[in-house]
Amino acid sequence: MGNNALSRRNFLAGTSVLFVAGVATACSSGSSSSSTAGSKVTLTQWYHAYGEKGTQQAVERYASEYTKANPDIAIKINWIAGDYETRLNSALLSSDAPDLFELGDFRAANVKSGRLAPLDDILAPVKSDYAKAALDTATVNGKVYGVKMMDDVMMLYYRKSILAKAGVTPPQTFPELVAAAKKLTTGNQKGLFIGSDGVGDIPYLLLWSNGGDLVDPSGKTVTFASPEGVAAIGGLKDLNSSGALLQGFTTDWFDPSALVQNATAMQWCGLWAMPDIKKKFGDDFGVIPWPKFGDAAAPAVRVGGWYHLVNAKGKNVEAAKKYVDWLWIQQTALQKDWCVSYGFHIPSRKSVAAQTTEFSSGPAQEAAGFSQQYGHSFPAVWNKTTTTAFIQAATKIAKGGDAAGELASAAKTCQIELDHQNA
Amino acid sequence: MPSATPTRRTASRPAGGAPPRRRANWRAIGAFALLTGPMVIGLGVFKYLAIGWSFLLSFNEARGTLTPGHWVGFDNYAFLLKDDSFRSSLWMIVGFTAFIVPVTFVLSLALAVGVNSVRRGRAFFRTTFLLPAAVSYVAASLIWKMALFNGLPSGIANALGGLFGMHVQPWLSSTDPPLYWFVIVTLRLWLQVGLYMILFLAGLQSIPPHLYEAAALDGAGRWKTFRSITFPLLRHTNAAILMLVFIAAFQAFDEFFNLFNTGQAGNASAPVRPPLVYLYDSALGDQNYGVGSAGAFILTALIVVVTLVQGRLAGFGRKD
C-alpha cells in the first residue's frame, strides 16, 4: 500500500471526536443516589423523564429527605428518557430490576406475572381518600397493587386571540374542529397539532367521542371495531388530508413547544403543560375537551395518571413499601409540591386536592371539570401489545387505509392478547 | 492479491523437498490457545449460549419470562408466518435490500475509484467520506429527524425545497408519496458509503500498477480499463462487500427505530417496520420472548440463505 496507506493515528484522531459526540447523545438518561455512608439498604426507584423543569430535582429531594430521616435506607433514582415501559419491562426480568417504580396507567398483566407486591396494608388507612376508579383499576382479585400518584387530564388547548382574529369559535363537534383547523392555517402557522406523526393519542379520543370504547366493561372482549369506532377513527383521514395538521414537529404532543412557539393555533396536550403555556401567553389561551364526533355523542378527554408500584421480586419489598407509604401516603406536603409546583397534575387524593388553590379557577378548573364529566381511561387490560396493534391500524387509516378492515384485523390481535391475559 | 500467493505457498513447505509432515508444535498450539482462548470463551458465553437459549425459547410460550417451561412446538413460528404485519415486514426488508445493496455498492465503488484517481488531496477526501461512518445511527437519526427533515418550513430539506417551489412536507409522516423512504435511504447511504469506500480503496491499491501501465500502452480508455482490469481484479473485495452490505441491510433497525420513535409511545405509528423492529416490539415491548426468538431465527435463516446464494453467485471465497 506504500504511500497510500492510511495514517492510522491521523485517522483515529479525527474520528474519535465524532465517536465521543455520538456516544454522548445516545445516553440521555441519568441516575443519582441519596446514599449516606451508613446506609444498609439501597432501593432503586424508576421514574420516566418528566418534561417539566425541576421535576428530577424534586424526586431527588424527596429521596434525600427520606434518607435523612431513615439513615439506613438510601434511594437510587433512575430517570428514564424515551420508551419508558419497554425499558422497565426488560429491566424487571433482570437483576437490575428496580425495587419501586411508577407506571402510567395500571397493567393487570403485571400482577398476573407476579411482579407487583400488594399494597393493601399501607393503603388501608386512606382508602376513602381516593376516587373509587383509582382503586378499582389497580385491584386484582380483591387486592390493591398500586398507589395512584396523580391524575393527568389531556385536552385541547387553543389560542383565544388567534381564534377571535379568524372569526372561529371553539369547536363543539368534530366537523367544526376540522373546519376550524383549516381556517386557522395561515402562513407558517398550522391549525392543529395532535402529534408529530399526525396520529398521537387521537384515535382513542375519536373512539370515545363517538360513544365507543376499547373493551367491554368486563375486560374480556375487544369492542373498538364497532360501527361507531370505524366511523370516528375514519375521521383521522379527514384530519390528515386537511392540510391543517402540523406534522413532523421536533417535539411531540405531550410537550407544549408547538403551541408555545406559535407553530400551531390549537394543540392536544396535557394539564401538566399548563404552567408553561400560561407563562408564555398569560390569559390568551383556553381549553376544551375533544369535540363530540356526531350530535348523538359526548365530548371526551383522556384521564391518565401514574401509579406507584413495588416490585414483588425485589430484595427489599418491605423497605420499598415503607418508602411508598412515607412518600405517597404520609407526606401530603410533598405530594402537593409534586402535583402543582412544576407541571400541573390533579392530586389523586381528595384531601391533597383540597389543599391546592390551582384548580379552583380559570382553565385549570375547567380541566378538572372535564375529567369529572368527560373523562375516559385505559382499562387495566390495555397494554403495549394492544396499543401497538390499535395505533398501527389507526396510522394506516390516517394515511388512507380502509377503517373497517384495519380495525377488524387489529381487534383480532388485541382479542388474542386479552384471551391470554384472562386465561 | 495474486502476487502474494506463490510466496506463501513456498514458505509453508519445508526446505529440501521432503514430503510435508505434520508435527505437533506445542509452542504454537499453546500460543494459539492463549491468544484465542479468551475470545472463544467470550463468544461461547455471550453469543452461543445466548443463541442456544433463544432457540429453546422459540419453542416455548415465554410471556414476561425468560425461562422456558411451557413447550408449544412450532406455534410461535406458525403465529409469525401467519401474522400479516410480520409477513409485510419481511417483504419490506427484501424490497429495501434489493434497492439499498446495489445503490450502496455502486456509490461506494464509484467514490473509491474517484478518490483513488485524484492526484492531490487524496487523504483529505478519504477522511471526509469516511467520517460519517464514525457517527452513531442514533445521533444521525436525530439530526435527520430534527434538523434536516422535520416538517417545519424552517427545516433544511423544506427550506431547500422551497427554493424550487416545493410545498412544506412532513417528511417522516408523508405516505403519499412515501417521502420517508428518502429520509431513510439518504441516512443509510451517508453513514455507510464511506466505510465501504475504504474497503474498495484497499482493494484498488492491491491491483499491481504495471497492469494499468500495460493497458495504457495498448491504448485502453478509462472505461475499458475499469471493466477489464479494475473490476475483475476486485472480485474478492466485491464479494466480501456485497455480503457485508446484504447482511447490514437485512439487519436494518437503528434508523427505522429512531426516526419513527415517538418517545413514550414507542414505534406504533411508524409507517414501516423492518423485521428487527417488529421483533423488538414483540420481545421487549410485548414481553413475548417466545415469538421474538422464533422471529429472530426466521430472519437468520433468511439471511443465511441469501448470503449463501449470493456468495455462490459472486464467487466469495473461490480460489483463483
Quote the cell numbers at residue A295: 350530535
Domain-embedded: residue B42? no
* pLDDT of residue A17 exceeding 60: no
Report chain A's C-alpha Rg in angstroms.
23
Decide which of B182 and A4 is more confident.
B182
> Class of A153-302+379-422 per CATH?
alpha beta
For all residues of chain A together, what is the average pLDDT? 89
Q: Tell whether the torsion through CA atoms of B46, B51, B54 and B56 is positive or negative.
A: negative
SS3 A172: coil
- Contact criterion met (CB < 8 Å) for B152 and A199: no
| Secondary structure letter of residue A72 according to DSSP | T
- How many CA atoms lie less than 13 Å away from B41 in the CB half-sphere? 5
State the smallest CA–CA distance between residue B106 and chain A in angstroms.
22
**Chain A interface, best mutation among B282, B287, B291, by max A CB count within 10 A:** B287
A25 and chain B: CB distance < 8 Å anywhere? yes
Cis peptide before B177 (omega within 30 of 0): yes
Cβ-based contacts of B176 with chain A (< 8 Å): 399-400
**Chain B interface, best mutation among A4, A95, A241, A254, by max B CB count within 10 A:** A4
- How many CA atoms lie less than 13 Å away from B79 in the CB half-sphere? 22
Between CA A414 and CA A403 the distance in angstroms is: 16
Of A269, A257, A289, A288, residue with least CA distance to A344: A269
Domain-embedded: residue B7? no
For B134-179, the pLDDT digits (tens) are 999 999 999 999 999 988 888 899 999 989 988 888 898 887 788 9
The answer to whether A237 touches A178, Cβ cutoff 8 Å, is: no
- How many CA atoms lie less than 13 Å away from A25 in the CB half-sphere? 15
CATH superfamily of the A30-151+305-358 domain: Periplasmic binding protein-like II (3.40.190.10)
For A177-217, the pLDDT digits (tens) are 999 999 999 988 999 999 999 999 999 999 999 999 999 99
Quote the cell numbers at residue A312: 414483588
Between CA B266 and CA A392 the distance in angstroms is: 11
Instruction: Report in angstroms the alpha-carbon separations of A17 from B124, B132, B134, B144, B262.
Output: 17, 12, 9, 20, 29
**Chain A interface, best mutation among B67, B286, B291, by max A CB count within 10 A:** B286
At residue B64, the pLDDT reads 80
Domains in chain A: boundaries: 30-151+305-358, 153-302+379-422
For A324-351, the pLDDT digits (tens) are 999 999 999 999 999 999 999 999 999 9
Q: Which of A31-40, A295-304, B124-133, B170-179 has the lowest mean pLDDT?
A: A31-40
At residue B2, the pLDDT reads 44
A27 and chain B: CB distance < 8 Å anywhere? no
- Contact criterion met (CB < 8 Å) for A197 and B269: yes
What's phi and psi for A105, nearest 5 deg?
A: 65, 155
A83 and chain B: CB distance < 8 Å anywhere? yes
At residue A38, the pLDDT reads 64
Domain-embedded: residue B28? no
The answer to whether A190 touches A363, Cβ cutoff 8 Å, is: no
A190 and chain B: CB distance < 8 Å anywhere? no
- How many CA atoms lie less than 13 Å away from A334 in the CB half-sphere? 20
Residues whose CB falls within 8 Å of the CB of residue A91, separated by 6 or more in sequence, listed in order:
A46, A97, A98
Q: What average pLDDT does the segment A83-110 reach?
A: 89
For B243-290, the pLDDT digits (tens) are 999 999 999 999 999 999 887 667 888 889 999 999 998 888 888 899
B141 and chain A: CB distance < 8 Å anywhere? no
Quote the cell numbers at residue A159: 389560542
The answer to whether B260 touches B172, Cβ cutoff 8 Å, is: yes
ipTM of this complex > 0.85? no
The answer to whether A299 touches A209, Cβ cutoff 8 Å, is: yes
Q: What average pLDDT does the segment A159-172 reach?
A: 96
Between CA A349 and CA A1 the distance in angstroms is: 74
Please state the separation of Cα B148 from the chain's center in Å: 24
Quote the cell numbers at residue A326: 412515607
* pLDDT of residue A53 exceeding 50: yes
Decide which of B170 and B106 is more confident.
B106
- Percent of chain B scored above 70 by pLDDT? 91
The answer to whether B122 touches A4, Cβ cutoff 8 Å, is: yes
Q: Which of A103-107, A382-386, B243-247, B310-314 has the lowest mean pLDDT?
A: B310-314
A246 and chain B: CB distance < 8 Å anywhere? yes
The DSSP string of A2-44 is: GGGS--HHHHHHHHHHHHHHHHHHH---EEEE---TT-SEEEE
For all residues of chain B together, what is the average pLDDT? 87
At residue A146, the pLDDT reads 95
B67 and chain A: CB distance < 8 Å anywhere? no
Domains A30-151+305-358 and A153-302+379-422 share a fold: yes
The answer to whether A114 touches A322, Cβ cutoff 8 Å, is: no
Q: What average pLDDT does the segment A54-62 reach?
A: 95
Beta strands in A94-231 (DSSP E): 100-104, 139-140, 143-144, 147-158, 190-193
Decide which of B320 and B268 is more confident.
B268
Domain with residue B153: its CATH number is 1.10.3720.10
Quote the cell numbers at residue A78: 433512575
* pLDDT of residue B5 exceeding 80: no
- Contact criterion met (CB < 8 Å) for A248 and B265: no
Between CA A39 and CA A71 the distance in angstroms is: 6
Of B85, B176, B264, the CB nearest to A84: B264
Other beta carbons within 10 Å of A254: 20
* Window 249-268 of A, Cβ < 8 Å to B: 249-250, 252, 254, 263
B139 and chain A: CB distance < 8 Å anywhere? yes
- Percent of chain A scored above 70 by pLDDT? 91
Of B260, B264, B296, residue with least CA distance to B279: B296
Between CA A233 and CA A235 the distance in angstroms is: 5
- Contact criterion met (CB < 8 Å) for B286 and A23: no
B206 and chain A: CB distance < 8 Å anywhere? yes
The answer to whether B47 touches B29, Cβ cutoff 8 Å, is: no
Give the residue on B whose Cα is nearest the Cα of A110. B64
Task: Give chain B's domain count.
Answer: 1
B36 and chain A: CB distance < 8 Å anywhere? no
At residue B17, the pLDDT reads 53
With bands split at pLDDT 50, 70 and 90, how would you rate the model's confidence at B318?
low
Indicate the Cα dihedral angle A327, A328, A329, A334, nearest 10°.
Answer: 60
Domain span at residue B168? 58-314
A423 and chain B: CB distance < 8 Å anywhere? no
- Contact criterion met (CB < 8 Å) for A11 and B127: yes
With bands split at pLDDT 50, 70 and 90, how would you rate the model's confidence at A46?
very high
